[in-house]
Structure 1
Amino acid sequence: MEEPKTVMQVFNELRDRGVEVKYREVVYRALEKLLDADLVEKEYVRGRGLCYRAKAKTIVINLVNDSIGLH
Structure 2
Amino acid sequence: MEEISKVAKALSSITRLRLINIVSKFNGLTAIEIYKIYKDTYNDFKYRESIYRELEKLVDAKILKKEYDKDSKRLIYKLNIKNIMINFDDDLKIETDMSSG
- Does the alignment reach a TM-score above 0.5? yes
| 4+ aligned runs moved over 4 Å, structure 1 | 59-62, 65-71
Q: Which residue of 2 aligns with 1:11?
A: 35
Q: Hey, what's the Cα distance between the residues in 2 that align with 1:25 and 1:68?
A: 30
Partner of 1:50: 75
TM-score w.r.t. the length of structure 2 is 0.52
| TM-score normalised per structure 1 | 0.69
Q: Which runs of 5+ in 2 are unaligned?
A: 1-23
What amino acid does structure 2 have at the position aligned with 1:38? K
Q: How many corresponding residue pairs? A: 69
Assess if the C-alpha contact under 8 Å between 1:41 and 1:55 holds in 2.
Answer: yes
The answer to whether the Cα contact below 8 Å between 2:27 and 2:79 also exists between their aligned partners in 1 is no
Following TM superposition, by how much is the alpha carbon of 1:70 offset from its aligned partner in structure 2, in angstroms? 4.8
- Report percent identity of matched pairs: 31
SS of the counterpart of 2:38?
A: helix
The Cα RMSD (Å) is 2.7
Q: 1:23 to 1:61 in 2, by over 3 A?
A: farther
Which protein has the larger Cα radius of gyration, Structure 1 or Structure 2?
2
Gaps of 5+ in 1: none
Q: Please tell me the residue identity of whatever aligns with 2:77.
A: Y
1:24 aligned partner: 48
